[in-house]
Structure 1
Amino acid sequence: MRDSNVNFNFLHRTCTLVVLLCFLHISVTVVYYVRSLDLRRTFVQNQHSRQNQIKQKLVRQATEEPKSIFFTNSTVITKKLEKCPDPSPILVGPLHIEFSTPVNLEQVIDQNPNLQDGGRYKPRGCIAQQKVAIIIPFRNRDEHLKFWLFYLHPILQRQQLDYGVYVINQYGDETFNRAKLLNVGYAEALKEYDFECFVFSDVDLIPMDDRNTYKCFSQPRHLSVSMDKFGFRLPYNQYFGGVSSMSKEQFLKINGFPNNYWGWGGEDDDIYNRLASKGMSISRPSGAIGKCRMIRHERDKKNDPNPQRFDRIAHTRETMHKDGINSLSYKVVNVEKNQLFTKITVNLGKAPR
């Protein structure tokens, strides 16, 4: 009987020990499982953080050296972009331009979904040949601007330009000063982007052929060669009005445009004199490619012919080094950005009496 009690006590202790060992094993297993969950969560978070850092780094690099960037669930694939071909392979040539049907800006926005804020665009599949700022001197010409935006945005995109549209609006009712507004457009555009080419365009002129590329060339470019206003002929060989382009280097070489031509006329001839004095010549597309149509309108108020224009033109060589971008003064009144353009309203001061 005593042996039986001894055996029972031994069995009881053994079972208790086994239970304790099992409990200990389970406890250790639970602890390690919980720790593994924490480690797994930390690992996943670190992986996500690492992927985000890689993506951000690649996006930053894309602004310095453009690439196509593709993201998948686990990898990032980059492809270095090539320069866009010159000329663009998606041009269509002669265009039908008419102004009988009113233009709605919402329609223009819908038809140009790839535009960025401020009227900015760059091609996606290649690096644009040039970064171009389009400068439009402006006051009270909203209907004309609608037609310009309607026709020019698709043209400029087919030309595969990295471009922005800047409408430089003269504040107040002082006499209009086209050339000074163009100087302002040059200065303000460079505050936003490293543009290397500047196209200066009247708001009422529309090209009739998209092969007339709005970019810069080795010499200053006159783009509105044959206007319907002049029977599709160049009015005279020195004519540089309407639409023209200059590189940053060319623009600075002539000290920009004159600031003292208040009213209509004269500033284009002054600019031609500046170019000639610096040994530059005017390049042009052919008469067929350089055709453009003008929106008919009456002369604006406060834009009467400038009575001093002939005297000023005669003294360009004497005044150009002190009257230009180096003497420009103005005050920005308002900046408005939308998907189609950047509108900068500026106070140019008062015309001398």
Structure 2
Amino acid sequence: MTRLMLGRTLERICKAVLLLCLVHFLIMMILYFDVYSQRFDIFSRFNNGRNSSSSRTHPFYNLSRPNATFAGYLGTMNHIPSAHPEANVTSTAKPVPPCPEVPSGLVGRLLIEFSSMMTMERVQKENPNVTEGGRYSPPDCRAKQKVAVIIPFRHRDNHLKYWLHYLHPILRRQKIDYGIYIINQLGEDTFNRAKLLNIGYVESLKEDSYDCFIFSDVDLIPMDDRNLYHCYDQPRHFAIAMDKFGFRLPYAGYFGGVSGLSKKQFLKINGFPNEYWGWGGEDDDIYNRITLNGMKVSRPDVRIGRYRMIKHERDKHNEPNPQRFNKIQNTKNTMKRDGISSLTYRVVQVKKYPLYTNISVEIGKPPPRPMKG
């Protein structure tokens, strides 16, 4: 009798366990098809009434994928409904963090050499992430400034290849949001570096809302990527230790080679002088403008601000300006009327190459030089 009762009890327990398993299985199947039904056409027929609006973002579509667009997704799918129509489902992109002050990918001291053959095709292959016109923005963080790098230019194509070869990787490692602008002086009249820099400022602002401007000679390459190409609280002189000068400043007020000013700083000094035709003087005039307007020049550590210069002969039609010393002494009197406020020029062509934007300009003719004696 006892064995019979024990057998019936065990039979009831087994039936109860089986029933619970069956209920659990049915619940899981219901949840499974409720969540994934929108992925099967057979279920979409029963759900057409739930959500026919194409303006809602589908919860399974990842808008953060490179080159993905929601419009393109809707073009390939046929109004797939939302799993939960009663909820206002929106896709929010993950906020991009600000770029660090000192990026982790910097390598420090660099080996710079100009003996190997350099071609524009090679440089382009080395920089696939740089977009047309020489534009780049860090994909993983938000840069605090938009930087226009401006180069005064004429007949320096070979130098430009080396500059692009070295600077694009450096600027990318520095997490700089930047564009490269080559300001090409047409004709064979006397070269005017400072006026070309003013033109670069104006023309780059037609492209984007830049708030920082780096002015660089095309023959100067930084030897350390910790020399960060962005703007600072004070006007910045980057090229403080060139191999040409034995890796030290030639004199305390030197501001040549590579410098940077914010938009506010640039406008405060009325930009650069337009009347320095030929080699020399304009950098000292700019230094005077900075100090006369109550600002100070900031510089990197001498171990970081080292540069190599590509050796070359002095360009034709860029002879030393014999008037430069007199002009430097009169900066206080001329800076308000000679600068960005008095700039005149004519753009002949703007052409976007894969690694830079070339802006060819006519800047007028220099005034006749006074007769000697």
Q: Deviations over 1:264-310 (max 9, x none)?
A: 00000000110110011111001110000000000000000001101
Partner of 2:351: 336
Write the mapping of 1:52-63 to structure 2, written as runs, cut at 5 A.
Answer: none
- Equivalent residue of 2:94, what SS? strand
Partner of 1:22: none
Shift of 1:235: 0.4
Does the CA-based 8 Å contact 1:179-1:258 persist in structure 2? yes
Shift of 1:234: 0.6
Taking the aligned partners of 1:290 and 1:147, their CA distance within structure 2 comes to 19
Instruction: Tell which structure's C-alpha radius of gyration is larger.
Output: 1
Structure 2 residue 234 is the aligned partner of structure 1 residue 191: no
1:297 partner amino acid: H
**Structure 2 residue ranges without an equivalent (≥5):** 1-43, 83-89, 369-373
Partner of 1:283: 298
Write the mapping of 1:148-163 to structure 2, written as runs, cut at 5 A.
Answer: 148-163=163-178
Partner of 2:24: none
TM-score, scaled to structure 2? 0.77
Partner of 2:35: none
Partner of 1:324: 339
Structure 2 residue 309 is the aligned partner of structure 1 residue 294: yes
Write the mapping of 1:41-190 to structure 2, written as runs, cut at 5 A.
Answer: 46-47=53-54, 50-51=56-57, 76-190=91-205
2:352 partner amino acid: K
- Equivalent residue of 1:215, what SS? coil
C-alpha change, 1:283 and 1:69, in structure 2 (3 Å) is farther
Q: Deviations over 1:334-353 (max 9, x none)?
A: 11101100000000011011
Does the CA-based 8 Å contact 1:220-1:246 persist in structure 2? yes
- Equivalent residue of 1:168, what SS? strand
Shift of 1:76: 3.8
TM-score, scaled to structure 1? 0.81
Shift of 1:129: 2.2
Partner of 1:313: 328
Taking the aligned partners of 1:315 and 1:263, their CA distance within structure 2 comes to 18
Larger helix fraction of residues? 1
Q: Deviations over 1:161-194 (max 9, x none)?
A: 1000000000111100000000000000001101
1:98 partner amino acid: E
Does the CA-based 8 Å contact 1:91-1:210 persist in structure 2? yes
**Structure 1 residue ranges without an equivalent (≥5):** 1-35, 60-67
2:208 partner amino acid: Y
Partner of 2:11: none
Taking the aligned partners of 2:345 and 2:103, their CA distance within structure 1 comes to 38
Partner of 1:220: 235
Does the CA-based 8 Å contact 1:148-1:206 persist in structure 2? yes
Partner of 1:26: none
1:209 partner amino acid: D
Q: Deviations over 1:181-236 (max 9, x none)?
A: 00000000001101010000000000000000111111100000100000101100
Taking the aligned partners of 2:199 and 2:284, their CA distance within structure 1 comes to 19
1:334 partner amino acid: Q
Shift of 1:253: 0.4
- Equivalent residue of 1:79, what SS? coil
Taking the aligned partners of 1:316 and 1:205, their CA distance within structure 2 comes to 27
Taking the aligned partners of 1:159 and 1:208, their CA distance within structure 2 comes to 14
Q: 4+ runs of 1 displaced by more than 4 Å? A: 49-52, 68-75
Shift of 1:40: 5.3
Taking the aligned partners of 2:56 and 2:123, their CA distance within structure 1 comes to 41
CA RMSD of aligned residues (A): 2.4
- Equivalent residue of 2:93, what SS? strand
Taking the aligned partners of 1:186 and 1:81, their CA distance within structure 2 comes to 29
Partner of 1:259: 274
Taking the aligned partners of 2:196 and 2:307, their CA distance within structure 1 comes to 23
Taking the aligned partners of 2:286 and 2:141, their CA distance within structure 1 comes to 34
